[in-house]
Copies of this chain bind each other. A is one copy, B any other.
Amino acid sequence: MNNFDLNKYFFEHNLKPTPQRLTIAEYLLNTTSHPTAEEIYQAVANKLPMPISLATVYNSLEVLVKVGIIKEVFTEPNKVRYDKNITNHHHFVNTQTGEIIDVEPYELLSEQLVENYLLKNPKQKFKITNYHITFYGELVE
């Protein structure tokens, strides 16, 4: 999504395209990393001509999640990360660096995963609406 699309998207979702929101959205759309609110705050503070508050970063992230431009990711305790990749996908955590990398889903496995759940938990009558896999591992030398 480029800057033009962003303005359009904001308009279509009744979001005022304020410099703060636009800069936060732009920052996220231009990184493959999964930054925290604090990291976004630091990066965006350096780009904006005016100052920005951390509250605005949290407020903006909330509305960007709400309109579906970004998603939240929980891979670690006590830390929320934000993700421009809004497709269904999974994450690989490099346990040496903390880096989080997107993993594309393998849809052929989905059915088997869900079937396995039903097999292993025959008493429970639940419907699985989605699932998320966190892979952990290390760089191979």
- Interface of A toward B, CB cutoff 8 Å: 72, 74-78, 80, 92, 94-95, 101, 103-104, 106, 109, 112-114, 116-117, 120-121, 124-140
Contact = CB atoms under 8 A, between A and B. Distances in A.
Contacts of A72: 77
Contacts of A95: 129
Q: State the copy count for this chain.
A: 2
Contact of A103 (B117, B125, B132, B137): B117
Contacts of A135: 113-114, 117, 128, 130-131
Given A128-B135, A132-B134, 20 more contacts: A74-B74, A74-B76, A77-B80, A92-B126, A92-B128, A101-B121, A101-B126, A103-B117, A103-B120, A104-B116, A109-B109, A109-B113, A109-B116, A113-B135, A127-B139, A127-B140, A128-B137, A130-B137, A132-B133, A134-B134
